[in-house]
Structures are given as structure tokens and as C-alpha cells.
Amino acid sequence: MPGQAPLRRTDEGLVPDGDGWFVLNATEARWREDGPFGFYTPFAGDVRFPQVGVSIAVLEPGQPNCMYHREDDQENFLVLSGECLLIVEGQKRRLRRWDFVHCPPGTDHVFVGDGDEPCTLLLIGARSPDAGIVYPRSDAALEHEAGVEEETTSAEEAYRPYPEPTFTPYRKGWLPGD
């Protein structure tokens, strides 16, 4: 039976120390500032969750959450607050609070903050050990600075022009009702 993972305090917030169960409030968690791709907390410590990843992302209007991509694993998303633009399979869909998006394996997608206020997304995705990822070229994604000029399977290549994410503490107002 798994034990409890203690929470370790860092300058940027709390992180679980180990792979046991834990309870962590998002406003106390360590967050990452991902430059042009917003802010997010993966809730995990130094080791990613091995089976299912869970994150909260905060996007300013016009800010994508990542580069347009498709994965071998499924991903699911829930808009918690604000509005965003979903680019999926080359189509654009406007989303608002409580819209849920399911992306089966192999679905091209990216989210871009929209509207007058930040958009908060809940991200949940499977994590197969050998899952691949592709960053396809998409004119729709390129219009929003969320795509690559040439298709690649290399995250390093897709994100080369951008700075590495850095850790940051939670900032009041990122989450709805805070």
C-alpha cells in the first residue's frame, strides 16, 4: 500500500517529495512560467506522474498553451474560466467556461487564450512510456504563433526558439474566485 508523500517547500511553492499519495492546493503548489506559453502547475514534484498527467494552465489572451501537436496518448481538457480558441485538426472552435474537449490519440490540437481575461484550463493526459509526438505544420496554428513551419517529431526542435520554463510561485488571481 502506498504511503503518503511529504510536501517539500521550495522558493516557488510546495511539491510532493516521492511517489505516494498527497493533497496539494493549487494556490500553494509550485508553478512554471513557460514564456509565451503561459503559466501552469503540473502538481508533480521532480518526477512526473507515470500514468496520468494533471495540470492547470493559465493563458493570457493570444497566448497558446504549447505548440500545435498530436500524441499517441489521449488528452482531455476542461475550461475552468475565461475563453480560448481551440485549433483542432486544422479547425478553429471558440470555447468558454465548462467546455470539455476530448482528444483521442492522434488528434492535432492547441489552445490559445481568447477574450478579455485569462483563460484557465484543466489538462489531463495519459502517459504511455513509448508514446510519440508529432508537431505538424498548420496554417491555423501559425496564425496564432502556435505552430511549426516544418513538421517534426522533436520537441527540442519545435520549442528551440523559446526560453526554457522557469519555476515561479502562484500569483493571486490566476485561478477563478481567488
Domain with 29 in it: what CATH number?
A: 2.60.120.10
Residue ranges with strand state E in the chain: 7-10, 13-16, 30-33, 39-41, 52-59, 70-71, 75-81, 83-88, 91-96, 100-103, 109-114, 119-126, 133-134, 166-169
pLDDT score of 2: 80
CA 43 to chain centre: 12
The count of structural domains within the chain is 1
Q: Residue 165 gets which letter from DSSP?
A: P
Q: Is residue 176 part of a domain?
A: no
The secondary structure of the chain in percent helix, strand, coil, rounded to multiples of 5, reads: 5, 45, 50
Q: Is residue 9 part of a domain?
A: no
Q: Is residue 98 part of a domain?
A: yes
The amino acid present at 16, given as its one-letter code, is P
The pTM is what? 0.94
Q: Is residue 10 part of a domain?
A: no
* Range(s) of the domain holding residue 57: 21-159
CB atoms within 10 A of CB 48: 10
Q: Is residue 85 part of a domain?
A: yes
The amino acid present at 24, given as its one-letter code, is L
Q: Is residue 12 part of a domain?
A: no
pLDDT score of 7: 97
pLDDT score of 145: 96
pLDDT score of 54: 96
Chunked into runs of 10 residues, the chain (178 residues) has average pLDDT values of 91 93 97 96 88 96 98 97 97 98 98 96 93 96 97 97 95 89
Q: Is residue 100 part of a domain?
A: yes
pLDDT score of 172: 93
Q: Is residue 102 part of a domain?
A: yes
pLDDT score of 49: 87
Residue ranges with strand state E in 65-134: 70-71, 75-81, 83-88, 91-96, 100-103, 109-114, 119-126, 133-134
pLDDT score of 129: 84
